[in-house]
Structure 1
Amino acid sequence: MIDSTVLLHRQRSVMPTPVARTGGVPISDALDSLMGRARHTVCIAMTGSSEFTDAVARSLITIPAQVTVRILCTAAATDSSLAQLAGLVRPGGCRVEVQVSESELRETLVVDGVAALVRGDRGAGGQAAVVNDAAAVRALELLFAGAWSRGRRLADHLQLSPRLRTELARNILEQLRAGNTDETAARELSVSLRTYRRYVAEIMRELDAHSRFQAGARAVEVGLLTE
């Protein structure tokens, strides 16, 4: 019994801490440590922080070619970091897929569904937490998958007119999908009926749609609306 207890204690002592703060460890070192262990998938959520984006770009070099990397970033991050995002895709390197999300994201990394890194608030000094707890990592992976399914491909995003990326444009598309009359939609959006109809016409033109139904279908296709 004593031998069994000692063995169990030794096994527990070498198990990683469920959640550990990176403390004074640079974010780049923490990313290198996790991404270097990747064998299947790496999921990354980025918000445009230059430090995090730069660290991700450098760490991708350590990932084997067979690993699939999925990068989900906010529209604002995409618009401000196009050069950096383009540089993440390297010939002969790992497969990198980039999508744009309209959801609010926190800088997160999930490796093979077994370990994760979550960046703290900017006010916390840029620290991060390394998560090894299986249930917590699985929850982070599911949250990422949900946001990924609602995102749009980077190529589709870059083809969108800036007018279609505004909150007003998305609200108008939601009104069209709901089937609301122009009068009701204009009232809910606090704009005049004439202004609303002008916006609808501009959105249809930007989407190259000949009907409102076609505009809705095209909006789903490019990720402005979820199905």
Structure 2
Amino acid sequence: MAEGHAAHLGEALLQARELIESTVSLYRRRPAEPAAPPTGIAALGEALERIVGGARYSVGVALAGPGEFTDSVLRLLTAQPPVAAVRLLGSAEVADASFAGLCVPPGRPLEARVSESELREIVVVDGVAALVRGAARGGGQQATVVHDVAAVRALELLFAGAWARGRRLVDHLGLSPRLRSALTRSILERLRAGHTDDTAARDLNVSLRTYRRHVAEIMRGLNASSRFQAGARAVELGLLPE
């Protein structure tokens, strides 16, 4: 029964993902609207102000890396009246470089999380408007303002999924760089898969003694008393996907 339910849920999630991706792809193939794409950081800032300035309920922001775009978004959000609830989702690099020192005015409903997944840089406002940033061309900042209801909803779902998998900023800042390394993730994945220490050490091309030392350091860093607890804590902190 449980296995059948899990299989059905997995199939439903895959179908939802395909629907989201097809909706975004369909929107991309449509003729560009006059307002898109703005080029240059000044024009991009104007586009951001237009959609964020009218926010009444919610603003969701995904930021993949530090730079002018990230700086512009954060400046704009901290300067806006505290009307809409703001959710910031950024990569570990963005969190370390920008989120940690972010000055949030008192009373502003703002929450930040960190994602280990690849992020699409988007700003979604009230579920009715969005800005999607694309690759820079010729030194300019390429972006598209989206008002199509179906496309905005798809982007909102993409953001919600990434947000749900992210870890709280306070938890991220409390993790040591060692716990955020690729080696730690590889070890945690093998622990969760039930690999023996011998097998995992061979996979990672390290000695058995070195592997066990890494495991012990990870458990201490996660404040876990068992390997199972370490795995659960890693999922809770977003170091491993659920």
SS in 2 for 1:21: coil
Structure 1 equivalent of residue 218 of structure 2 = 203
- CA shift for structure 1 position 152: 0.1
1:176 aligned onto 2:191 = yes
Question: Gaps spanning 5+ residues in structure 2: where?
Answer: 1-31
> Which one of the candidate residues 40, 44, 67 is aligned to 1:50?
67
Distance 1:90 1:65 in 2: 8
- Is the Cα–Cα contact under 8 Å of residues 48 and 77 in structure 1 kept in the other structure? yes
Structure 1 residues 71 and 190: CA distance shift in structure 2, 3 A? same
- Change over 3 Å in CA distance of 1:18–1:150 after alignment to 2: farther
Q: Which residue of 1 aligns with 2:25?
A: none
Distance in 2 (CA, whole Å) between partners of 1:91 and 1:114 is 27
User: 2:134 corresponds to which residue?
Assistant: 120
Who is 1:105 aligned against?
119
Q: Which of these two proteins has the greater Rg computed from alpha carbons? A: 1
Q: Does 1:41 align with 2:55?
A: no
Aligned length in residues: 209
Identity %: 62
Q: How many angstroms apart in 2 are the aligned matches of 1:209 and 1:61?
A: 37
Which aligned runs of 4 or more in structure 1 are off by greater than 3 angstroms? 16-19, 61-64
Q: Which amino acid aligns with 1:111?
A: V
2: CA distance, partners of 1:26 / 1:169 = 42
What does the per-residue CA deviation read over 1:152-209, in whole Å, with 9 as the maximum and x for residues that have no partner? 0000000001100001101111111111111222222232222211111110111121
- Could you report, residue by residue, the CA deviation over 1:40-74 in whole angstroms, capped at 9, with x for unpaired residues? 11110112333122211232256443411110000
1:80 to 66, 72, 97: 97
TM (norm. structure 2) is 0.79
Point out the more displaced range, 61-70 or 204-213.
61-70
Query: Any unmatched runs of 5+ in structure 1?
Result: 1-15
Measured at CA, do residues 217 and 18 of structure 1 come closer, stay the same or move farther in structure 2, by a change above 3 Å?
A: farther
CA RMSD of aligned residues (A): 2.1
Give yes or no for contact 2:38–2:141 (8 Å, CA) kept in 1.
no
17-26 vs 132-141, greater mean Cα deviation: 17-26
